[in-house]
Amino acid sequence: MPRHICLLAGALLLSAPLVAAEPALDPEGLLIYMPTIGAAVGIGGAYLLLAAVHFFHIFRSGAKWGLCLPIGGLFAALGWLLRLPVRTNQRSTPLYAVQQLFIVLSPAAFLAFNYILYGRLIVAIDKSIDMGGKKRQRSEFSPIPPRIVGRLFVWSDVITFLVQCAGGGMQATDMHETGTKIFLVGVILQGVSYLIFTVLSLTAHFRLRRLDRVFAFRNLFASHPTLRLLLAIYIASVLILVRSVFRIVEASEGYGGPLMANEHWLIFLDALPLLLAVAIWAVLWPSALLEESSTLAAQRHEMRGLAGGDCEQVASSERASIAKPF
C-alpha cells in the first residue's frame, strides 16, 4: 500500500505545475484530444476516496479477500491522475501507455471482487458444503462449485487482461490499428465472461426462490441480507456491462473513432459506471451481510434436518426481515 501511495503522490507532484497553463494539442503527439484537468482530478480523487473507504472496511472486518477492490481503485486513480502530466508530455510513449493501461485494465480487479463475493455468498447460504472437503464440491444453488468460481473467473480475467494489455500497449505505437483490434478481442472476451457470471448469479437466485418464496425477485429491495447482497451484485453487474459494451463499441470503431475521440464518452460510459459499481461496496460492505446470511441459512438447514421438522418458524423469521425497506 505505501508504494501505491507514493506513486499517486508522485503523479500529483508531476501534475502540479501543469494546471496553470492550457497546452496545445501536438499534431505529432499520441493524444487524440486534450484530457481535461477537471476530469482527471475529479475521477482520480473519487477513486482514491473510495479506495480509502474500502481499505477501512477491510481492516475493520478482516476481510482480506476483498483487497483486490481498493488496489484496483488505486491503480485506476493513478491512471486518471497521470492524464495530467500526459498533457505536457504528449510524445512520451511510456507515460501515455501506462496511464492508458491503468485506466483500461484496473476494472479487472473490480470484477474479481464480485467473483469472489459470489463464491462466499453461496458457501454462506449452502450449509451442506463441507469447508474441509473437496473444493469442487457442488452446491444446490450454483451450477459451478462455489469454491472454484472465483478462481475460474479470475483466470478468465487474467487471460483477457493479457490480451487487452498487449493491444493497449500497441495502441501507443505505430501499430495502433492492430493494437485496437487485439484490444477489441480482449474486451469482448471479458464482457462475455462477465455476462456468464451474471447469468450464474441469476441462476443461483432462481434456485433460492424455489427453496423459499422469501427470495422472490419482488422482495429484492427488502432488508434480508442475502437479497441485499444479490441486489448489490445485480446493480454492479449492470454498470460493469454498460462499461463493457462501451469499450466493445469504441474498439470496434477503430483507432480515433467517434467514441475514442471524445472524452465525454469515456467519462460517462466508462468512469462513471465503474465508480458507481465500486461505490456500492463502500456503502454496503458485504462482510456483515455474509455473516447474517450464514446465520439464517444455518437455522434453516438445522430445522430442515430434523426428521419431520417444521421449517415454518425459520421461514416466518426470514419473511419478517422483508418487512423493513432496503
Note the pLDDT tens digit of each residue in 57-111. Answer: 999 999 999 999 999 999 999 999 999 999 999 999 899 989 988 998 899 999 9
DSSP per-residue letters across 237-304: HHHHHHHHHHHHHHHHT-TT-TTTT-HHHHIIIIIHHHHHHHHHHHHS-HHHHHHHHHHHHHHHHHHH
- The pLDDT > 70 percentage for the chain reads 83
The predicted-structure confidence for 225-244, as pLDDT tens digits, reads as follows 999 999 999 999 999 999 99
Within a domain: 308: no
Higher pLDDT, 192 or 7: 192
pLDDT at 214: 81
Query: In total, how many domains does the chain have?
Result: 1
In this model, does residue 213 exceed pLDDT 70?
yes
Within a domain: 220: yes
Do 33 and 262 form a contact (C-beta atoms < 8 A)?
Answer: yes
Within a domain: 311: no
Give pTM, 2 decimals: 0.85
CATH number at residue 143: 1.20.1070
Within a domain: 77: yes
pLDDT at 211: 80
Within a domain: 22: no
Within a domain: 143: yes
Q: pLDDT tier at 272 (50, 70, 90 boundaries)?
A: very high
pLDDT at 325: 47
pLDDT at 106: 93
pLDDT at 5: 54
How many CB atoms neighbour CB 238 within 10 A? 13
Residue 206 CA to its chain's centroid (Å): 23
Q: pLDDT tier at 172 (50, 70, 90 boundaries)?
A: low
Within a domain: 136: yes
Within a domain: 322: no
In this model, does residue 307 exceed pLDDT 90?
no
